[in-house]
Structure 1
Amino acid sequence: MPLPPINTGHRIGFVGTRFAGTDGVSLEAAKWAKVLWHNRHVSYWFAGKLDTDPEVSHLVPHAYFGHPDIQWINHRVFGKTTRDPEVTRRIFALAEHLKRSLYEFVRKFDIEILCVQNASCIPMNIPLGVAIALFCAETNFPTIAHHHDFYWERDRFAVNSVGDLLRMAFPCTMPCIQHVTINSEGQRALSHRRGASSVLVPNVLDFESPTPEIDDYNADFRQAIGVAPDDILFLQPTRVVPRKGIEHAISLLAALKNPKCKLVVSHESGDEGDEYLHALREMAESQGVDLRYVPNRIGEERDTNATGEKVYLLADAYLHADFITYPSLYEGFGNALIEAFYYRQPVLVNRYSIFVSDIEPKGFDVITMNGYLTKSVVNKVRRVIEDPEHRRAMVDRNFDLGKRFFSYAVLRRKLRALVTNVTGMDDL
């Protein structure tokens, strides 16, 4: 297909399995769209689950990884080493349907550049990945593929019967595709495994906008979750899944031996069951740690929940926190860490690999642990919560470094280069 015409704005088609809610892919895609919109580029959306404006959206149910037909395929190809011919037939039948839908999407909105969000690297929806690969092969359409997670990074995909399709489409390496990775480990692995170069674009936050403040709505957040004004609120701003290492946060509060310290966990346990949550509650009780699990009080919008209680934003929780715990064992990037910098909160970090390679070298002032809690780490945390001047110097430095390395200005520069590679003009 021909390159886009030269003008001051282009029509960008975002393609993914889901653009809805607060998952990392949806949030980062929205940030990309915001930066593009500010430079007169118009974004359109193709997915199986959408909460975007219907006027600029193309909903295709089979693009969603949670669709029963997609789940049927996944249950028969992962954890297996052979593939039934009927599974192959269904994959390619659905891929043909989704490929036709992509053609329709491009025609409907006169799309000039496709921006594939994670659908060509993590095989949650194999037919969609295959459809994107076939569409690019048939059209040579200008495409930016934004890769958040690769299948080789996840144990759940290690045993499979679709190695041929994974090599073909996850990711597809057609010449028309510009690859974007979110961390240097992913960048190196993509080059090693596929021989493909990529542009490293970290996840970002809008550091140029003023940090929100406590207002009339969120002023009673502590009271609402049963935390006193003079309590020391340790916020764990993550889902409750084992890789988040929340047991280390409980051990930290137990070691501090301060009854004023309260641990607040903001998000639900997700789709991995409640066994880990039960274990954490038992651990907290046995160690005398006050653990508050409040996902029913924190949501995507300020509202009320099913029982009529106020629902707050995660931002409201950050504003009331005194300290952030982030003892993750593994992260693809670490959005909660960047959020802690933005909301000027001190933070404890378990030195997961991406932090070590991509964030720590920037010089952020955080308290770190190496897989286990030491007396030195506990003493450093105690100093932060007892010494306001030390705390202020720490969070101010981190905000300034966050603005330098992980702001919208960084994203703007990266997107300018990606779009210019297609259009031949510096129009961002």
Structure 2
Amino acid sequence: MARGAIVSFRLGLSDGVSMVARVWQELLTDIGFDMVTVAGEGPVDRLVPGLGIDQLDGPDPEVFAASVADADLVVVENLCTIPLNLPASRVVARTLAGRPAILHHHDPPWQRERFAAVTELPPDDPSWHHVTINRLTADQFAQRGIQTSVIYNGFDTECPEGDRTAMRAELGVTSDTLLVAHPARAIARKNIPTAIAIAEELEGTYWLMGRAEEGYDATLARLLAGARCPVIHRPVARTPDIYAAADLVVFPSIWEGFGNPPVEAAIWRRPCVVGDYPVAAELAGLGFRWFSPHRLEEVRAFLSNPDMDLLDSNQAIARQHFSLDRARSDLVALLSGAGWLP
């Protein structure tokens, strides 16, 4: 059986890249690869010190090479895209030169102001294929002379509804509480002040699921302490239960490479307030009807009198464009064209 390896800074956790990588691991296993995971952090098959975000000395080149030596195909999840650990990116690129590899790109440096001066990423090699998670990024790659395929993130669009009662009981939330869920890590670009303001305006309880990262701890503590609404800060895996428990999903991000929660909200039939980040506009172009953070009167009206047609339509669009079958078909087409099918 052909061996496939997925490589990233961290895998098996609750961040967006880990979640997408988990789906790809399942898809590639279904296609016929014997998959292993390789990262600097997380519950992985092969832990390589130096690959992690905070391990800035980088990995020993021989140790990393040994971790993927038996791989017929290597998928690099964002590690050669965003400059969170440039020494690691360089080692991975050098090791994979001339080998079949898919570089799966989520956040190229030019999309983040603090990384805009970094020009060495992404690397390129004639033996590789590049995949982006949206067309905006694909166009930006093309402007830089790198051709890519676009494969939107895939979701289990037929997963049954979660347990609202059990999740609310776990959170200590009463049945009549307006629960405003924010399925996001606590970092600046997730726009937590606006998410809190929405919950305040709607007189709901704000539920933030992610931990503080990127030095956001003190800012988050100040924001939550100053909130004029009840606050729940409790990390919970993104399962159908959280959407079943929520009355409203908020995702007012300033920037996202994709943004899974609005699609997940569509799958599990929840209204969603979505920020003005560019990829949100690309996804909305498929027909999704989301609410703006600037028009909360429309949200209030929906909550008072839910529009089932809106929820039906959003769910149908999610099933059409973001199913696991669609992602698998796109991935098979890529592998077939490259001659990499097992």
Is TM-score (shorter-chain normalized) higher than 0.5? yes
Instruction: From the CA coordinates, give the structure whose radius of gyration is larger.
Output: 1
Report the CA distance between 1:262 and its aligned residue: 2.2
- Runs of 4+ in structure 1 deviating by more than 6 angstroms, as ranges, are none
Deviation readout 1:185-228 (Å, 9 max, x if unpaired): 211221212x0100011122111x332331xxx63432443422
After superposition, residues 206-217 of structure 1 pair within 5 angstroms as 206-207=156-157, 209-214=158-163
Q: Is residue 59 of structure 1 aligned with residue 47 of structure 2?
A: yes
Report the CA distance between 1:282 and its aligned residue: 5.3
Question: How many Å separate the matches in 2 of 1:103 and 1:224?
Answer: 45
After superposition, residues 181-200 of structure 1 pair within 5 angstroms as 181-193=132-144, 195-200=145-150
**2:271–2:311 Cα contact (<8 Å) kept:** yes
The corresponding residue for 2:66 is: 104
**2:78–2:103 Cα contact (<8 Å) kept:** yes
* Secondary structure in structure 2 of the residue aligned to 1:264: strand
Deviation readout 1:289-343 (Å, 9 max, x if unpaired): x231322xx334xxxxxxxxxxxx6542221111111111111111111111122
Question: How many Å separate the matches in 2 of 1:223 and 1:146?
Answer: 39
**1:281–1:291 Cα contact (<8 Å) kept:** no
The corresponding residue for 1:91 is: none
Deviation readout 1:164-205 (Å, 9 max, x if unpaired): xx52xx222111010011122211221212x01000111221
Percent identity for Structure 1 against Structure 2: 28
* TM-score, with structure 2 as normaliser: 0.91
After superposition, residues 133-144 of structure 1 pair within 5 angstroms as 133-137=93-97, 140-144=98-102
Deviation readout 1:99-141 (Å, 9 max, x if unpaired): x33442344xx3211111111111222222212322233xx11
Q: Is residue 236 of structure 1 aligned with residue 182 of structure 2?
A: yes
**Which residue identity lines up with residue 251 of structure 1 in the other structure?**
A
Q: Which runs of 5+ in 1 are unaligned?
A: 1-8, 71-93, 301-312
**1:183–1:202 Cα contact (<8 Å) kept:** yes
Question: How many Å separate the matches in 2 of 1:322 and 1:299?
Answer: 16
The corresponding residue for 1:11 is: 3
The corresponding residue for 1:3 is: none
**2:56–2:87 Cα contact (<8 Å) kept:** no
**1:366–1:394 Cα contact (<8 Å) kept:** no
Q: Is residue 354 of structure 1 aligned with residue 296 of structure 2?
A: no
The structure 1 residue matched to 2:288, chosen from 361, 364, 372, is 364
**Which residue identity lines up with residue 293 of structure 1 in the other structure?**
I
Report the CA distance between 1:424 and its aligned residue: 6.5
After superposition, residues 91-240 of structure 1 pair within 5 angstroms as 97-98=60-61, 100-107=62-69, 110-137=70-97, 140-158=98-116, 166-167=119-120, 170-193=121-144, 195-207=145-157, 209-214=158-163, 219-240=165-186
Question: How many Å separate the matches in 2 of 1:59 and 1:234?
Answer: 37
**Which residue identity lines up with residue 83 of structure 2 in the other structure?**
P
The corresponding residue for 1:299 is: 236
The corresponding residue for 2:301 is: 383
Question: How many Å separate the matches in 2 of 1:255 and 1:65?
Answer: 37
The corresponding residue for 1:79 is: none
Q: Which runs of 5+ in 2 are unaligned?
A: none
Number of equivalent positions: 342
After superposition, residues 238-317 of structure 1 pair within 5 angstroms as 238-256=184-202, 258=203, 261-281=204-224, 283-285=226-228, 290-295=229-234, 298-300=235-237, 314-317=239-242
CA RMSD across the alignment? 2.3
**Which residue identity lines up with residue 281 of structure 1 in the other structure?**
L
Larger % of helix: which? Answer: 1
Question: How many Å separate the matches in 2 of 1:133 and 1:273?
Answer: 31
The corresponding residue for 1:23 is: 15
**1:225–1:292 Cα contact (<8 Å) kept:** no
Q: Evaluate the alpha carbon distance shift between residue 400 and residue 45 of structure 1 in structure 2; reply closer, same or farther with a 3 A threshold.
A: same
Deviation readout 1:227-281 (Å, 9 max, x if unpaired): 221122111222232322233233334444x5xx322222222232333324433
Q: Evaluate the alpha carbon distance shift between residue 269 and residue 127 of structure 1 in structure 2; reply closer, same or farther with a 3 A threshold.
A: closer
Question: How many Å separate the matches in 1 of 2:173 and 2:320?
Answer: 35
**Which residue identity lines up with residue 213 of structure 1 in the other structure?**
G
Report the CA distance between 1:347 and its aligned residue: 0.8
* Secondary structure in structure 2 of the residue aligned to 1:67: coil
Question: How many Å separate the matches in 1 of 2:39 and 2:177?
Answer: 44
Question: How many Å separate the matches in 2 of 1:334 and 1:236?
Answer: 12
Q: Evaluate the alpha carbon distance shift between residue 386 and residue 130 of structure 1 in structure 2; reply closer, same or farther with a 3 A threshold.
A: same
**Which residue identity lines up with residue 58 of structure 1 in the other structure?**
R
Q: Evaluate the alpha carbon distance shift between residue 253 and residue 401 of structure 1 in structure 2; reply closer, same or farther with a 3 A threshold.
A: same
